[in-house]
Amino acid sequence: MDIAYYPGCSLHSMAHEYDQSTRLVCKRIGIQLHEITDWNCCGATAAHSLDHHLSIGLSGRNLAQVDDMKLNQVTTPCAGCFSRLKTASGELKKAPMQGEIEEMTGIFLAGAKDVEVTHLLQLIIEQIGLEQIQKQVVKPLQGMKLAAYYGCLITRPKAVVQFDDPEQPVSLDRLLQTLGAETVNWSHKAECCGGGFAASATEIVVDLGGQVLEAARQAGAQAIVVACPMCQANLDTRQRAIEVDRGITYNLPIIYFTQLLGLGLGFTAKEMGLNRLLTSPSNLLAVSMV
Amino acid sequence: MKDKGETTLVVGGGLAGMEAALKIGQAGYKVILVEKQAVLGGVLGQLYSSFPRWEDPQALLNNKLQQIQQCPQIMVLTGMSITNAQRDDKVYIVDLQGINQGDIRQIRVDAVVLATGFELFDASVYGEYGYGIYPNVVNSLEFEAKLKEWGSGHSEQIPPKSVAFFKCVGSRDRSKGKPYCSKICCMYTAKQAGIVKDMFPEAKAYVFYMDYRASGKDYEEFTRSVIETKHVRYVRGRPSKVLPENGKLIVRAEDTLMGVPIEVEVDMIVLAAAIIPSRGTRELAQMFRAVTDEYGFLEHETFNPVKAGDRVFFAGACGFAIETQGAQYQGAAAAAEVIALFNRDPQGGD
Amino acid sequence: MAVEFYRPMRLNNLNSSLQQEIREACDTDVEMCLECGKCTGGCSNAHIFDYTPRKIVQLVKMGAEETLMNMDALWTCVACHLCVDRCPSQINIPRIMDYMREKAYHQGVKARRPNVELFHELMLDSIKQTGKVAETQLIIKFNLGSKQYLKDADLGRRMFFKGKLSPFSPNVKDINQVRLMFIRTPVHKEG
């Protein structure tokens, strides 16, 4: 299948391994990604926090380009970008808003508003299917005990996203099980990691991210699997600070689901960029002998 | 004097249905009382205690069963359900089928009373509460069964050290549940929490509420006694999330009277799930051309709160959530309607 | 010589259109609030908020615009959306937060968390300049702007050696299209 691809700013910098693994994996499972030629930042938290119209406009420009590419669907691995694009798509479907944003941006948005926005996890689950993935698994993730972490924006707000269940999500768990891993039942699979406050109010991330790590540890997880570069950054880069704050050692690698999917499909750890994680996954990889 | 040749079909052998059958039968008319379970009693038979007088519901049930047994006009058919109904002038031709035996019958009746009762809304819709996922999160009928078990003195189960009761699960919820109030949960929750304290004085009981609705004779006093003398802790706040931790359950809610978020660790959670009509009520109503509302409850005609259609009456929770005594009143009212119908000018009708 | 006596607030003096304004701008009617507290009970950051979600909805009903625009919670809401998802009346609290914050910001109300505001501003500056966000530059500018020169120095070092700090600042080609939005956004026109 052909689909527009919106990587988002962090996938081209800090979360480069997420982009890397996404591209390799998608090619293998039959998703042809077409990166939006001149995409701009979706505005993330900053735009919707200070300027609603700007936030919609920034996403509108991206959606309009998808339409110009003659594609009717866009996917992104970043939960934040997904939330912004999908919200904008919904807002643009309301007549007064579409007109206001067109006036503001000078961009014609009639086609843009009909572009379907799908998070990469959702795309794989709904449009490729676990059965298909199962067929292509060559190196099952045997012996891995993983905590599937959904964070906030892949399933919420329910009225906008309508994917999986926001309170008891199972899609990522099922994907990891299809890859041969065991997933733990844990309390914080859909609780917030602290969002965009890593730099500007670090104590919030240390608090909320810390609760997530603690819940994963108590459930016996060896690693946490994520589908958002913000969750990854919060739980990985702030893990030392959380350990200091709580006086507990976690040593929990925070891994992008595409990296594990790639391992299952036969790519090497290096190809999947697993060496770029701050909290090393080497123990985990040794356990499963992948 | 008119002869009493008419027959009434009463569908549902809970309290409302039994009461209707009794009043019609004791007035000298034939009644066929059909119940799909193997025994009569409905929800009344599942209760351990009652409000507002802490009386034994089995005493009431046994009283009705005894009267039914002593009334030769009433034929009881348990383990059977209605599969079809057709109108033939002033008579309904009704097909019945046995649930297990496959026993098939056809009867002719001159009037029908629907009294199919209620069940509880499926609380697994509330993923945040973990019903169906975490053990020890149960609904109020399941908890009543536990009370019976603990009360029997033969229980092997370890009693809980702390129980949280959530009210309005599915009720008063326009987004995931029903917008209406299920009327009886405030009272039965106070009852259940009070019983926990009576059975296990060292245990803690919390009731999470938005309101407590106690409008009835002795109801307010009952609820206050549960709070003031049995020391059940009432917390005003609709719980937001249940988090399992080390084998226990953590309830996250807001104490809205203080305006602060709180957490409570408990062993067991009881959900007062919304009251919905028993499955099959809508289809049954359609067979008799009776009207149901958008929630599947039977709808009554103007000026007549127990009449659902031509020669069709209803009583009990199939019309809306109702307490035990109310179901009894409605059963008697439906019976009065049937008897009055049979005593009107035989050439006329409705 | 007037002496200040304490008097309770007189409810019939409330003459605010804020509830209506929120109904139109945020497509959400606070009249539907059951005051149940399910929002606050699950709110990720309620324990650090000065006004918690249920109270924020109540503040809208009371027309307490000043309080809403000056509260600390405005700047520490993580937008996790647990509140609106669980609310039996689906009151869009995240949208109300965004709306009040936008209003406060563009009216020049001093943010209770200047660092959070600064971070948002720097991110938007980067988008206005280049169309994208270069994370490394953003963090450096933030540290400088918030006078926390050595913040996360050790973390930065670790990330540098893992190749996570990219020196590049990617650009959008049709940058004028992006810059136009910043100039023509309705909020700026009014402000």
Tens digits of per-residue pLDDT, B240-266?
999 998 889 999 999 999 999 999 999
Task: From residue A129, give the alpha-carbon distance in Å to each of A32, A260, B53.
Answer: 16, 17, 58
CB contacts < 8 A (B, C)? 76
Please report which confidence band the pLDDT of residue B348 belongs to, taking 50, 70 and 90 as the band edges.
Answer: very low
> Is the Cβ pair C36, B210 closer than 8 Å?
yes
Q: Residues 100 to 159 of C: which have CB under 8 A from any A CB?
A: 101-102, 105, 113, 115-116, 118-121, 123-124, 126-127, 131-136, 138-139, 142, 146, 151-152, 155, 158-159
Query: Is some CB atom of chain A closer than 8 A to the CB atom of B103?
Result: no
CB contacts < 8 A (A, C)? 178
- Cβ distance C60 to C68 under 8 Å? yes
Per residue in A86-122, pLDDT (tens digit) is 999 999 999 899 999 999 999 999 999 999 999 999 9
Percent pLDDT > 70 in chain C is 96
Has residue C190 got a pLDDT over 80? no
The strand pairing partners of B188, in sequence order, are none
Q: Are residues B268 and B134 in the same domain?
A: yes
Q: Which of B131, B174, B245, B246 best tests the A interface by mutation, with the highest count of A CBs <10 A?
A: B245
Neighbours of chain A (3+ CB pairs under 8 A): B, C
pLDDT of amino acid B323? 97
Q: Are residues B125 and B250 in the same domain?
A: yes
Domain residue limits, chain C? 16-106, 114-190
Domain count, chain B: 2
- pTM comes to 0.93
| Burial of A242 per CB tally in 10 Å (0-12, 13-18, 19+) | buried
pLDDT of amino acid B349? 47
Q: How far, in Å, CA of A193 to CA of A263, rounded?
A: 26
CB-CB neighbors (< 8 A) of C152 in chain A: 199, 202
- Cβ distance B162 to B202 under 8 Å? no
Task: From residue A108, give the alpha-carbon distance in Å to each of A125, B50, B201, C16.
Answer: 32, 67, 70, 38
CB-CB neighbors (< 8 A) of C52 in chain B: 254, 259-261
Complete DSSP assignment for chain A: -EEEE---GGGGTTTHHHHHHHHHHHHHHT-EEEE-TT-----HHHHHHH-HHHHHHHHHHHHHHHHHTT-SEEEES-HHHHHHHHHHHHHHTSHHHHHHHHHHH----TTGGG-EEEEHHHHIIIII-HHHHHHH-SS--TT-EEEE--TTTTT-SHHHH--S-SSS--HHHHHHHHTT-EE---TTTTS---GGGTTTTHHHHHHHHHHHHHHHHHTT-SEEEES-HHHHHHHHHTHHHHHHHHT------EEEHHHHHHHHHT--TTTTTGGG-SS--HHHHHHHT-
Q: Which of B127, B246, B250 sits opposite A168 (nearest CB)?
A: B127
Q: Are residues B140 and B247 in the same domain?
A: yes
Q: Residues 24 to 43 of B: which have CB under 8 A from any C CB?
A: none
Neighbours of B215 (CB within 10 A): 9
Distance from CA of A31 to the nearest CA of C (A): 25
Task: Output b/e per residue, A140-157; b: 16+ Cβ within 10 A.
Answer: bbeebbbbbbbbbbbbbb
Please report which confidence band the pLDDT of residue C6 belongs to, taking 50, 70 and 90 as the band edges.
Answer: confident
pLDDT of amino acid C13? 79
> Is the Cβ pair A187, B244 closer than 8 Å?
yes
Has residue C8 got a pLDDT over 90? no
Per residue in C25-58, pLDDT (tens digit) is 999 999 999 999 999 999 999 999 999 999 999 9
> Is the Cβ pair B128, A167 closer than 8 Å?
yes
* Nearest of C169, C185, C90, C171 to residue C130 by alpha carbon: C171
Q: Are residues B14 and B81 in the same domain?
A: yes
* Average pLDDT, integer, range A54-64: 97
> Is the Cβ pair B256, C52 closer than 8 Å?
no
Q: Are residues B205 and B265 in the same domain?
A: yes
Please report which confidence band the pLDDT of residue C191 belongs to, taking 50, 70 and 90 as the band edges.
Answer: very low
pLDDT of amino acid C50? 96
Residue with the larger pLDDT of the pair B346 and C143: C143
Closest residue in chain C to residue B255, using alpha carbons only: C37
pLDDT of amino acid B65? 98
Has residue B53 got a pLDDT over 90? yes
Percent pLDDT > 90 in chain B is 92
Q: Which of B133, B245, B246 sits opposite A168 (nearest CB)?
A: B133
CATH of the domain at B57: 3.50.50.60
- Alpha-carbon Rg for chain C in angstroms: 20
From B275, B296, B317, the end of a domain falls on B275
Q: Are residues B171 and B300 in the same domain?
A: no
Distance from CA of C80 to the nearest CA of B (A): 14
CB-CB neighbors (< 8 A) of C132 in chain A: 9, 12, 40-41
Per residue in B96-154, pLDDT (tens digit) is 999 876 799 999 999 999 999 999 999 999 999 999 999 999 999 999 999 999 999 88
> Is the Cβ pair A166, B133 closer than 8 Å?
no
Q: Are residues B158 and B267 in the same domain?
A: yes
pLDDT of amino acid B100? 75
CB-CB neighbors (< 8 A) of B244 in chain A: 185, 187
Q: Which of C40, C90, C91 best tests the B interface by mutation, with the highest count of B CBs <10 A?
A: C40
Closest residue in chain B to residue A185, using alpha carbons only: B244
CB-CB neighbors (< 8 A) of C134 in chain A: 9, 13
pLDDT of amino acid A288? 63
* Nearest of C91, C94, C61, C90 to residue C77 by alpha carbon: C94
pLDDT of amino acid B157? 78
Q: Are residues B227 and B82 in the same domain?
A: no
From B275, B296, B329, the end of a domain falls on B275
Q: What is the ipTM of this complex?
A: 0.94
pLDDT of amino acid B1? 45
Distance from CA of C126 to the nearest CA of A (A): 9
Distance from CA of B127 to the nearest CA of A (A): 5
Whole domain around residue B143: which residue ranges? 121-275
Neighbours of chain B (3+ CB pairs under 8 A): A, C
CB-CB neighbors (< 8 A) of B250 in chain A: 187
pLDDT of amino acid B159? 87
Closest residue in chain C to residue A50, using alpha carbons only: C102
> Is the Cβ pair C88, B177 closer than 8 Å?
yes
Q: Which of B127, B243, B246 sits opposite A165 (nearest CB)?
A: B127
pLDDT of amino acid C164? 87
CB-CB neighbors (< 8 A) of B261 in chain C: 40-41, 43, 46-47, 52
Q: Residues 120 to 179 of A: which have CB under 8 A from any B CB?
A: 165-168
pLDDT of amino acid A289? 55
Q: Which of C122, C176, C185 best tests the A interface by mutation, with the highest count of A CBs <10 A?
A: C185
Q: Residues 199 to 218 of B: which have CB under 8 A from any C CB?
A: 210
| CB contact set of A130 (below 8 Å; sequence gap of 6+) | A174, A175, A178
Distance from CA of B128 to the nearest CA of C (A): 8
Sign of CA dihedral A258, A263, A266, A268: positive
> Which two structure tokens, joined as six digits, stand for C29?
């009617």
> Is the Cβ pair C133, A44 closer than 8 Å?
yes
Q: How far, in Å, CA of C28 to CA of C95, rounded?
A: 9
> Is the Cβ pair A40, C127 closer than 8 Å?
yes
Has residue C2 got a pLDDT over 70? no
CB contacts < 8 A (A, B)? 17
pLDDT of amino acid B345? 60
* Average pLDDT, integer, range A197-220: 96
- Per the prediction, chain B carries an average pLDDT of 95
> Is the Cβ pair C41, B210 closer than 8 Å?
no
Has residue B346 got a pLDDT over 80? no
Q: How far, in Å, CA of A94 to CA of A97, rounded?
A: 6
Q: Which of C35, C47, C90 sits opposite B256 (nearest CB)?
A: C35
Domains of chain A: 2-121 (1.20.1050.140), 137-288 (3.40.50.11810)
Q: Which helix (H) or strand (E) holds B64?
A: helix B57-69
| CB contact set of A40 (below 8 Å; sequence gap of 6+) | A58, A61, A62, C127, C131, C132, C172, C178
Per residue in A216-254, pLDDT (tens digit) is 999 999 999 999 999 999 999 999 999 999 999 999 999
- Per the prediction, chain C carries an average pLDDT of 92
Distance from CA of C147 to the nearest CA of B (A): 34
Per residue in C121-137, pLDDT (tens digit) is 999 999 999 999 998 99
CB-CB neighbors (< 8 A) of B177 in chain C: 88
